[in-house]
Amino acid sequence: MDWKSERNELIETVCTMNKLGINHGTSGNASVRVDNGYLMTPSGVAYEEMREEDIVLMSFDGSYESIEDRRKPSSEWRFHQDLLSARADFGAILHTHGTAATTLACHRREIPPFHYMIALAGGHTIRCAEYATFGTQALSDNVLTAMEGRKACLMANHGLLVGEASLRNALSLAVEVEYLCDAYWRALQLGDPVLLTTEQMDAAQENFRKGYGIASP
C-alpha cells in the first residue's frame, strides 16, 4: 500500500500548523500510524513544497523507506516511534514550535489548572518534559515520562508535543494548548492566577469523557 490519502492528510496537517501560526518554517514534525508502522514528515523540506513522495514510511524497529530513497525522516522520529509504540490510543503525533508554548517551555513551566480546558490534555496539568538534545533517545525518554496519562506536554527549551487518535484531533488539541499557553503567560502578567480545585478539574474531565470537546480548526 502507498497510503496516498494518509500522506496527503499529513502534508495538509503540517501546512495548516503553519497557516494557523502554531508553527513556522520547517520546524516541528508530524506522524500518523499505518498498519505495522507509521508515516513521518521528512527532514529539511518546506511544508508548502512537500509532496506525497517526500513522506517517509517508518517501521517500529527504526528502519525506514521513502519513494526513490529521496528523503530521510525528521530527526525527531524517536519520540514519535516510542509514543506510538507505548500508546495504543495515539494514532497521530504532532510537534510544534508555537511562540506561546515555546516561551513557557523555555521557562520549563508546568501549566497548572488555571483553566478547565487543561483537562482536554488528559490531566489536571500540562507537564514540561526535562531537557535533552533534540533527536536523542534521552529526549524521547523524557517525553514519555511527561506524557504518562496525558495527551500533551511541553518540551523544555524546545516546544510542544501532542498525541491523539487522529491527525485531525491532534491538530485541534495543538491549537487549544497553544491558546492555553498564550492565556497562561498573559494571566501571569497580573500575578498568579486562581487555580481550579481537584474536584473542579475532575468534573471538567468527566464532561469531556461524555463527549464535550472542541471543533476542528
Q: CA 114, CA 112: separation in Å to the nearest integer?
A: 6
If we measure between CA atoms, which residue out of 156, 148, 155, 167 comes closest to residue 40?
Answer: 167
- Beta-carbon count within 10 A of 125 CB: 18
**Backbone conformation region of residue 31, classed left if phi is above 0, alpha if psi is from -120 to 50, else beta:** beta
Helix residue spans in the chain (DSSP H): 4-19, 77-86, 99-106, 137-146, 167-188, 198-209
Q: CA 19, CA 27: separation in Å to the nearest integer?
A: 13
| Cα–Cα distance list, 5 to 28, 105, 146 (Å) | 21, 34, 31
φ/ψ (deg, to 5) at 169: -70, -35
CA Rg, the chain, in Å?
Answer: 17
If we measure between CA atoms, which residue out of 146, 134, 120 comes closest to residue 204?
Answer: 120
Catalytic residues: 76
Q: CA 23, CA 153: separation in Å to the nearest integer?
A: 16
